[in-house]
Structure 1
Amino acid sequence: MTRPRMIATDLDGTLLRNDKTLSPRTLRALRTATASGAEVVFVTARPPRFVDRLSAATGLAGTAVCSNGALVYDLAARTVTASRALPVDVARKVVAALSAVVPDVGFAVETGRNVLYEPAYGLRLPEDAGAESPVACLADLWTADVPIAKLLAWSARLDADLLLAAAEQAAGTEAQFTHSGGRGLLEISAPGVTKAGTLAELCAGRGIPAEEVVAFGDMPNDLTILTWAGTGYAMGNAHPAVLASVRRRTGTNEEDGVAAVLEQLFGPA
């Protein structure tokens, strides 16, 4: 392919190594690409606070599509420039439908700034230490008067693929369901909100067609960008559903798979 004008990349399991760091090789490749005129956009399930830490550690700036497309974030200004929240009434319908088929499921709300969780939600992420706040009961999630970037559902019993299948059967028309590989963790957005939908709007505003975008990802929530972009690469460590749907492959995140492709497109760093 010719040199792309935009590089759209997932973070966990894709651009970042398993220890959540960016390797020197990958950082050099990104800087070479941007010096050649390409724009790098992080397209991630992560909230803005996570990309803030990445930006501080690497010096990378630009734009991030966060929370699976619910938020567009300017890293330099540390400002959300666009958002599509999940309506509270829709969130309540999804909770009722999913609870009826997965009795042990617990719920949390990602606001983009922090996570509010009810007692049945037992998942704790080390990187969210200091950003997680408990509420006394499930009903209190809806009285917090905060925008819902994502509704999170967690089960200690079901893995993410089984939980996704259960949710789509119970409430598939109510919201957008996906997962990014978290243990027993389902991510729920407003209807129609996907990584690709938000990225497409961003590209339209910049006059960049899909054919001039190269995308990288590893999980089911990345499938929309990998199939929308003119060129999509599945990581060598990708989820089976991604490997089955995306023709192009690169190395694993531990092998600097993104850097390997960028070095071919833009020359060695």
Structure 2
Amino acid sequence: MVRLVLTDMDMTLLPFGQPASEKAMAAIHSLVGQGIFFGPASGRDWDSVLESFRGDPLCMRTALLSNGKKVYAHGALVSKTSMDRDSIVTMAKMVYDLPGVYISGRGDEGGFISGTTLDNLLRTEWGSRRADEICEPEGIPSWPIVTAGLHFEDGSEDIDNNFWADEIRAACPRLDLISPGSRMFDCVPKGWSKATGLGILQDILHIDGDEVVCFGDSDNDYQLLQSVTHSVAVANANECVSAVARYHIGSCEQDSVGQALEDLATLGEGAFEKWDRAYQG
């Protein structure tokens, strides 16, 4: 019996830069109306994910945000995990002279950008939008940092992002970096993943792993999919995620997760057989 459905957002439920489709939204409402818990499992935080759901909070009454560092159940924040500030400061110092590279962070008290100069930041597309939040590494706020990212943007094309990620991991043993499928990295405490947040959520909702369906596409979804029986990879998923997934559907560009959510809402566990037939045939 399916009791909980979780999906990654970017390049899983959503094509780049697009909100959830009308099909997906209708299916989510149907699932929730049947008493099935639904939620995003995203590296992003509340406001950003809510915007992708067209401002509909019903889609986020259950949620794993900031890669599971923030867990929501029954519409309330039930767990929050912050990161080691000293590790974030060290990371910001390490990348300071790299063009197009910077650190972003957020917590309940606000946000910051660091690890770069203002001149370099203004040359980037996304980072420049938060230029008013820039600070030197030593000026990174002391309040709890829940969401952080290492960004490789405009000007960093000749920089090996994976090399620098490995260097930072070695220098910051309390920190890990996981890729959401682009040249950026999500920052999490060492050993943390979306699956850690799922474990917290399962305890609260009293749900077993074989009652959960999870959709994903990239490295920061791998452990989440590995931890459940009904794991689903979109066609554009990377090789590791495709290999660990039990089921395979079309790409995010085809709104395949939206269709899969509709299948779950109308067919229940019969959706699994439908996905297998389509994949094999």
Task: Determine the structure 2 residue equivalent to 1:250.
Answer: 249
> Structure 1 residue 261 and structure 2 residue 260: aligned?
yes
Find the residue that maps to 2:67 and give its secondary structure.
Answer: helix
Counterpart of 1:214 in structure 2 is 213
Paired residues, what number?
257
Partner of 1:51: 49
**Identity of paired residues, percent?**
21
Structure 2 CA distance, aligned partners of 1:136 and 1:61?
32
Listed as ranges, the matches of 1:83-102 within 5 Å are 83-95=80-92, 99=95
Deviating more after overlay: 4-13 vs 238-247: 238-247
Runs of 4 or more off by more than 6 Å in structure 1?
A: none
Q: Please tell me whether residue 176 in structure 1 is matched to residue 173 in structure 2.
A: no
Query: Could you list the per-position Cα deviations for residues 123-173 of structure 1 after superposition, in whole angstroms to 9, with x for gaps in the alignment?
Result: 5438x95x66433422111xx2321113322331436545444444x2473
SS of the counterpart of 1:33?
A: helix
- Which digits, 9 at most, give the CA deviation of each residue in 1:186-214, with x for residues without a partner? 22112232111011111111110111100
Alignment TM-score, normalising by the size of structure 2: 0.78
Q: Distance in 2 between matches of 1:257 and 1:159?
A: 32
CA distances 1:42-76 after superposition (whole Å, capped 9, x unpaired)? 11001111123245534534122111111124695
Distance of 2:259 and 2:40 partners within structure 1 = 18
Say whether the 8 Å CA contact 1:14–1:252 is kept in structure 2: yes
Cα distance in 2 for partners of 1:90, 1:172 equals: 5
Distance in 2 of aligned mates of 1:153 and 1:106: 6
Instruction: Return 115-124 or 84-93, whichever deviates more.
Output: 115-124
Structure 1 residues 89 and 27: alpha-carbon distance in aligned structure 2, compared to 1, 3 A threshold: same
Unaligned runs of 5+ in 1: none
How far apart, CA to CA, are the structure 2 residues paired with 1:56 and 1:259? Answer: 15
Counterparts of 1:90 and 1:132, CA distance in 2:
22
State the shift of 1:94 in Å: 4.5
Per the alignment, residue 140 of structure 1 pairs with: 139
Matched, 1:62 2:61: yes
Please state if 1:32 is matched with 2:33: no
Q: Distance between the aligned counterparts of 1:42 and 1:147, measured in 2?
A: 23
Does structure 1 retain, via aligned residues, the 8 Å contact 2:39–2:60?
no
* Structure 1 counterpart of 2:236: 237
Give 2:146's match in structure 1, choosing from 143, 146, 149: 149
Instruction: Give 1:191's aligned amino acid.
Output: K
- Structure 1: how far apart are the matches of 2:108 and 2:215? 23
Inter-partner Cα distance in structure 2 for 1:232 and 1:164:
27
Change (3 A) 1:133 1:145: farther
1:192-238 Cα distance to aligned partner (Å, 9 max, x none): 32111011111111110111100001111111111112211111111
In structure 2, what residue type is equivalent to 1:223? Y
- List alignment gaps of at least 5 residues for structure 2: 269-281
